């Protein structure tokens, strides 16, 4: 296997595993931990939903002859999506710390019921989730802060993967 094909596999694979573990963790905190995501939190998941399939396809086509350029494009598009997600996470984390105002229309969590008789009971039980209040912190970072870190790291790894074949080809 040539260096130009093998070199992007490690950073792209690491980005995929990191992103998959992160979105699985978000689902776990929501489903098992009972954390209710706000609307901005849900928006931060979109780069994972789009980026993971792009990276998976990029990894698959990477081993195919003549498909290195397609893999690089897929990695770059996914990197741009994760960079966007890092920006969303940084924006929300900054709003949580009071560095700037957060969105005024942010709430989230529970969908409306299809049974009108349950609507009043559901409204009483619904807690509106604010995009500017951190519900959890680890080492000073909230979910949004950690998302900014992980998304930036995934974007960097994918950029390395996208540029690795070009550098390797330029050396040899």
Reported as a single tens digit per residue, the pLDDT across 66-92 is 788 899 999 999 999 999 999 988 888
Q: Comparing 55 with 39, which gets the higher pLDDT? A: 55
Residue 149 to residue 27: CA distance in whole angstroms: 18
Per-residue pLDDT band for 94 (boundaries 50, 70, 90) equals confident
Q: Is the model's pLDDT at 58 over the cut of 90? A: yes
Domain that holds residue 51: 3-171
- Of 24, 27, 23, 47, nearest to 35 by C-alpha is 27
**Residues 8 and 69: beta-carbon distance below 8 Å:** no
Q: Is the model's pLDDT at 149 over the cut of 70? A: yes
- The confidence score (pLDDT) of residue 112 equals 52
Per-residue pLDDT band for 32 (boundaries 50, 70, 90) equals confident
Counting residues of the chain whose pLDDT is more than 70, the rounded percentage is 72
- The confidence score (pLDDT) of residue 120 equals 65
Residue 140 to residue 156: CA distance in whole angstroms: 23
Across 46-50, 68-72, 126-130, 166-170, least confident range:
166-170
What is the number of domains present in the chain?
1
- The confidence score (pLDDT) of residue 97 equals 77
**Residues 17 and 153: beta-carbon distance below 8 Å:** no
Buried b (16+ CB within 10 A) or exposed e, 43-73: bbbebbebbbebbeebbeebeeeeebeebbe
- The confidence score (pLDDT) of residue 3 equals 45
Name the average pLDDT for the chain.
Answer: 79
Q: Is the model's pLDDT at 116 over the cut of 50? A: yes
Q: What pTM does this model have?
A: 0.75
Q: Which residues pair with 137 in a beta bridge?
A: 142
Q: Is the model's pLDDT at 16 over the cut of 80? A: yes
Q: What is the mean pLDDT of residues 111-140?
A: 62
Classify residue 128 by its DSSP letter. P
């Amino acid at each position: 296997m040539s260096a130009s094909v093998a070199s992007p596999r490690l950073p792209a694979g690491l980005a995929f595993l990191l992103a998959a573990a992160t979105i699985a963790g978000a689902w776990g905190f929501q489903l098992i931990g009972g954390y209710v995501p706000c609307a901005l939190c849900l928006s931060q998941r979109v780069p994972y939903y789009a980026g993971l399939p792009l990276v998976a396809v990029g990894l698959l086509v990477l081993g195919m002859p003549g498909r290195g350029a397609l893999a690089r494009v897929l990695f770059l598009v996914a990197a741009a999506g994760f960079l966007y997600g890092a920006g969303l996470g940084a924006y929300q984390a900054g709003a949580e710390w009071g560095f700037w105002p957060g969105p005024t229309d942010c709430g989230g969590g529970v969908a409306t019921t299809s049974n009108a008789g349950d609507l009043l009971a559901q409204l009483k039980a619904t807690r509106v989730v604010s995009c500017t209040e951190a519900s959890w912190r680890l080492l000073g970072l909230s979910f949004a802060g950690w998302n900014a870190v992980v998304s930036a790291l995934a974007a960097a790894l994918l950029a390395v993967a996208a540029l690795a074949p070009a550098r390797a080809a330029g050396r040899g």
